[in-house]
A and B are shown apart, each in its own frame.
Chain A
């Protein structure tokens, strides 16, 4: 019988002649991606879980886990009952996608035309398409290219399957359902290579595969036998289109990926700029031009790149980052100026050379976040009347310090919710602590929200120091104590404030502390505590001084 569905598109096919498409499939990509990222041992059973229908299910797993009897789609609890000892991790589709995109970029070493496979069998892309037409000879032919690719992927720890065919549909099908890990077929062998493959090789939904299987259509070969019209009436054009794409009757382009640039400004100069003030001036111009672009999009720059093209054909780039999204031209320019001061005519300070001058400068915003609009006028007013800090002001300082010294070196203390005084503050990178005012609560407020109307000492001792004290039992304040060989007579006292240990911390004390604010006869004020509740916890509690007021 004449194959009814495989009608010919002579024109399209002609245009596609000689095309060579490589499809690479990375089975269980998320697991191996994670294993590489976190340096996990792939010989151990690893599975990724995610909330799916009916609870936590396994969404990807490695060979070792499969050998123990776990399977994709299985309920995690079931899998653990069968195979105790699975290492379970959460899925991270964003990271997977990003890593795959990076991998695709890296593969541009083979061909500029690399793309993520847009038709995954499951939910997220797990393969790549390369258009290697005319590229293979650079790597010793298709066999050489594929072997090189395989070896490198194996080096990364990614199992892969590869097929090269005259069009994406066939390459996709053979990479996934071919008999071998590597399949290379010419234009004349497509039909015979595809015929025995199951229908899933067509990139159609599994439900459609099931429906067709029930009608006895299980392989691509079976599809040839069915008249096209009734088939399309029952399963839609999509099936026919996929079938045509597999056989190469229907064109399917591959679009390469490129990095995203959010917005850019550009300046060209008649003569190369050589003086530092000129350069700074130019930067300022570029930044100012950027401001309306950013504001129009309601965003603020987080990462910017300045490309300087020298007249002698050399290009260099400077990257700066900000701690808060910024659309302030002066601020952005200042960040660059700090870096550009390192420029010089000859090789030297900072290693950047202006040489014969800079002809062109291009400023790219690589990364931007949404910013909330401010009422400029009102804020100006507020700043004039009250010297109130704006978080943005602090942000400018942190940016400038950070861009010079490295952001990891700029830190600040931050209040932490803990009843224990020595745990109540924490050092954090300054960049992390700066956030816009939220819900009327000032994050820099050091008062411990309303819980205490009684303050704690401004000066805390790095370590509480033991003292000898005489006090009323069981929980009275000290009457007299000796600290650093000086005896103090207590005149006034307040307390106790009882703080129990954080029992969940390793090495936590078992004693609760009774803190007292005391004032001696000469008006010196101390913060003392008794370690342990008398009777309940200890028979003879030790006293400490933990801080000094004033």
Chain B
């Protein structure tokens, strides 16, 4: 093409090569795909995206460009420490590798999130790269000198970027640049230095600039652009505004022609040095697979499985994924050697090969596998194997990977942290100069909401005027900002491993954690480019199960592993049917607990369904109730069509799993498999740009055309929408169901083992130690208090006969014992010192190590362990000195007497030596004898409160039991009595709030779980009632409820009608007496309105005091 004066503008080749996307954090104001699509629509021939010192955004743009069939140049805008800016486009793969190395170098020597480069670095790595130097508004000496050096070093590959930005001096500026270009023999290159795809984004660009500069928009001044010209412009417009500089436009074509590099060239190479074996990877994989199969099926590998294996191996061979499988196998083998429990999850469980290699645990003969879901030739995406490891030992696995492949070949994937509704509104509100409380009110509107904007109705509810100018602008801008990337963070466990140097594939950054490095791409980017990723995830339940296995071997001499637990045990299913599942993996939540008695699982597959059904997908698709009805035989099982029978036969005609929903879209809505996959991805990622509605239209119409009920079609689509957030394929549910069964088996047959194991694995799961201990005791397990002479750091098992019966049961209230009649175990659980808040593991270790025959006094413990009095005070506070005959108060007095407390000052750490070493030996001779001191005995109630304060649980009594008399007087019943209540009866209850939940799927309904000394009660608060008792519902620790009993399928709920906060009643426990004392120190009626109450003057400060008492109670866990 010839560029000369008079050529028709439509023929002018125009490429925009200085484009900044929003991955130049807080600079660019458009997504890469928006830029690409706009460029395509405007007729721009090629687009190059160059973000500030990062490649983080190019993969998305690359993908969008491919979909839109637009020439795309991946580039980077290199900004040196002293402000020299140059855009770099690699011409070929080696040049790209050099750029990656350059960025890695800059990233690694800078703190997280920045990149330090100098011109020298650029000169050192610049071979094969096309440079476009971007002059500042007024090109100074620094720029000229930099450009001259660059031009000298890479003659012929350097351009001078020229933008026309509608300043007052544009003409002079262009002329000056043109002179500079002549002087240095650097051709000009026309660009618009784009920050956003359309001029309407100026507002957002101004706002992000202010966020970056930490100022309000009113203060920003010249930091903002004067106009909205930095958007993509069509070629004709570019030709017009660069009239007289046509050559500069033609140079874009020259540059584009020079750059051949495409991200598609990053053909991924699997690491092939996993094993030193002589065999080729494929052969080795086949050998290992068949060996594994033979070991697993002693009776001979079933024929069907053999066929499956052959098919899978063939496909793996064709796609040459063998090294990938071997890599994962190697990691799993390492874990097994180190006795770290692990299990594959996700779609990998669809593979029989993975099962035979020991990566996954779902027996392919039991569950129908869908290998295509995992590996498919048409999708051409690498398989994704996620493996869970014990959460406490995952680090060992990570370090193994680093050690084996080296840091230059292994790195963690990134996660792009984006603006959520709340953070977007906060930031925008601040920039707009709204006051703190308005911003707070606006942010609060998003309570429990996530990625969508805010409706005017909600604005009004929050007490703001949606028509107010600033509020309206803030909300619009904020809704645009939602979804913008904010920074890169480290992925939970996605590892990228390459054959060559990783830093030649993608730049590497420092992560926030020491000793961790992350690559600049997230998992979707890696997927797009087909780069291997192994998810090394952490799962608390695996730690718990491993501990349980260790206890089993140690105390019962039984050796078990994940795969040797006897399957199909009726007692286990009986237990689950009764919703007796506290602590059991996945099915312990309130929602699961109310589902269990309805679903009544009897087989392993029922568990798979159980795990999958209480998820947003089936709930939003309203699939739960039809399934339950069909299962209970209340509704005939029928299929909407014959073609769907195959898809839905396993689940009685109701789609529950993600694969089923996908299959429906193929079978019933006429999607092609890639389209179906696109739909799934659209749900998860591209929610904002409206493509979802096209899919919705196509999906529903497609189904209606094929003769399905519109209602069924709409529900199926809703379900897919629900899966968007939390996809749960069948294979994944099956992997989890396996852990459900194992943990349930342990809990059912060895509640002592299970209790000790789960206590040692905290924090994890849904329940606090108090509830776990309580549940164990309800199952007849003796739980013994933490004690300096008996406890180790962790909880352990003691043989019951070794413990004096009196200690085990003295003072314990009688708990309801469901399993009490038939002892299934022989051990008691001794709480570990880890239960004591604030105590460190080293201290716990020292106490156990130096115990010998036992400590006989506070002083003895102190002298022998050398722990500081502060630490010993923690033990005393936790009442751990009972075995030496000291109760909490006496022990505290003793600890205090160790000295080292001196003047009570801030920062006093109690480390001051209390006794000079010379006199230490005189201690026992009564060298420092003191007068006896009479301390009033601590009332039981106060003991309990202090137990909670120090250990979050008490074995002595339940706090509510002390209030029982007064509660009874108010006709409050115990939770145990609920069993006898009739459906629809009115009751009053009171209990400690364990959990408050407001699930997004339940349209504003609040679920709360209360606990008293007899059991647990589930409360439902409808939105109307919630609004009336908002404060009480959200704040109470001790909540009183009056409401109607609702019983269905053995699940009891109380629908609240009236609520009250009785938290202040707990205060009476610390004062050792219930009710009022004559000096008005603990009056219960005035507390709610303490200061300035005309009836009571003596209540100053009581509120603070009362709050302190209430704070000692464990806080409820709130989810929204």
Chain A positions within 8 Å of B, measured between CB atoms, are 27-28, 49, 63, 66-69, 71-73, 76-78, 80-88, 90, 121, 159, 161, 176-181, 196, 198, 200, 204-205, 207-208, 211, 213-216, 218-219, 222, 225-227, 229-230, 233-239, 416-419, 448-454, 494-500, 503-504, 506, 512, 514-515, 517, 536
Contacts and interface: CB of A to CB of B under 8 A. Distances in A.
B872 to A, nearest CB: 13
Contact of B1101 (A73, A176, A451): A176
B229 interface: yes
B172 to A, nearest CB: 7
B892 A196 contact: no
Given A80-B444, A86-B437, 11 more contacts: A81-B447, A82-B1034, A85-B463, A177-B1100, A179-B1098, A204-B904, A214-B889, A234-B896, A419-B227, A451-B167, A454-B168
Nearest to B1078: A196
16 contacts: A28-B1091, A69-B1035, A76-B440, A82-B1031, A85-B463, A90-B436, A200-B1101, A214-B888, A215-B889, A233-B896, A452-B167, A454-B168, A494-B168, A503-B203, A504-B470, A514-B166
Nearest to B222: A417
A229 to B, nearest CB: 7
A205 B904 contact: yes
Interface in B439-488: 440-441, 444, 447, 462-463, 469-470, 473
A66 B1103 contact: yes
A57 B394 CA distance: 37
A514 B1081 CA distance: 75
Nearest to B438: A88
Interface in B932-963: 933-938, 946
B441 A216 contact: no
B440 A77 contact: yes
B462 A453 contact: no
B877 interface: yes
Contacts of B1030: 82
A63 B936 CA distance: 37
Contacts of B228: 500, 512
Contacts of A161: 1097, 1100
Q: Which 4 A-B pairs have the closest CB atoms?
A: A417-B221, A498-B166, A497-B168, A234-B896
Contact of B892 (A71, A179, A214, A219): A214
A222 B889 CA distance: 15
A454 B170 CA distance: 10
A451 B137 contact: yes
Contacts of A178: 1097-1098
Contacts of B440: 76-77, 80, 88
Contacts of A450: 137-138
Given A198-B1081, A236-B904, A215 B935 contact: yes
B936 A216 contact: yes
Nearest to B1093: A63
B1092 interface: yes
B443 to A, nearest CB: 9
A475 to B, nearest CB: 8
A78 B938 CA distance: 34
A370 B735 CA distance: 71
Interface in B528-582: none
Given A181-B1097, A230-B931, A512-B227, A454 B169 contact: yes
Contacts of B110: none
Interface of B: 137-138, 166-172, 199, 202-203, 206, 217-218, 220-224, 226-229, 432, 436-437, 440-441, 444, 447, 462-463, 469-470, 473, 877, 888-889, 892-893, 896-897, 899, 901-904, 930-931, 933-938, 946, 1030-1031, 1034-1035, 1070-1071, 1079-1081, 1089-1092, 1097-1098, 1100-1101, 1103-1105, 1107
A142 B1057 CA distance: 54
Contacts of A416: 221
Contacts of B1098: 177-180
A176 B1097 CA distance: 10
A68 B1031 contact: yes
Given A238-B903, A416-B221, A81 B892 contact: no
Contact of B202 (A211, A500, A517): A500
B203, B437, B938 — most chain A CB neighbours (10 Å):
B437
A235 B936 contact: no
Contacts of B437: 86-88
A183 B999 CA distance: 53
B930 A230 contact: yes
Contacts of B1091: 27-28, 63, 66
A541 B938 CA distance: 86
Contacts of A448: 222
Contacts of B934: 225
Nearest to A63: B1092
Contacts of A230: 897, 930-931, 933
Given A84-B463, A86-B437, A454-B169, A179 B901 contact: no
A143 B1058 CA distance: 48
Nearest to B433: A504
B957 to A, nearest CB: 18
Contacts of A121: 1101
A207 B724 CA distance: 50
A235 B203 contact: no
Given A450-B138, A500-B202, A504-B217, A81 B444 contact: yes
B231 to A, nearest CB: 10
A227 B935 CA distance: 11
A236 B1090 CA distance: 33
Given A181-B1097, A230-B931, A504-B218, A71 B166 contact: no
A454 B172 contact: yes
Contacts of B447: 81
A328 to B, nearest CB: 34
Nearest to A87: B437
A54 to B, nearest CB: 13
Contacts of A238: 903-904
A233 B1097 contact: no
B166 A496 contact: yes
B84 to A, nearest CB: 17
Nearest to B173: A453
Contact of A453 (B172, B199, B930): B172
Given A69-B1035, A87-B437, A196-B1079, A237 B938 contact: no
A152 to B, nearest CB: 18
Contacts of B222: 417, 419, 448-449, 451
A234 B901 contact: yes
Nearest to B1111: A73
A536 B1100 contact: no
Nearest to A513: B227
A500 B1031 contact: no
Contacts of B172: 453-454
A229 B930 contact: yes
Given A88-B437, A233-B899, A235-B904, A227 B933 contact: yes
A497 B164 CA distance: 11
Contacts of B470: 504
A218 B269 CA distance: 72
A161 B1099 CA distance: 12
Contacts of B889: 214-216
Nearest to A183: B1097
B417 to A, nearest CB: 19
Nearest to B1099: A179
B441 A67 contact: no
Contacts of A417: 220-223
Contacts of A87: 437
Contacts of B220: 417
Nearest to A81: B1034
A235 B199 contact: no
Contacts of B936: 216, 222
A525 to B, nearest CB: 14
A448 B169 CA distance: 13
B483 to A, nearest CB: 22
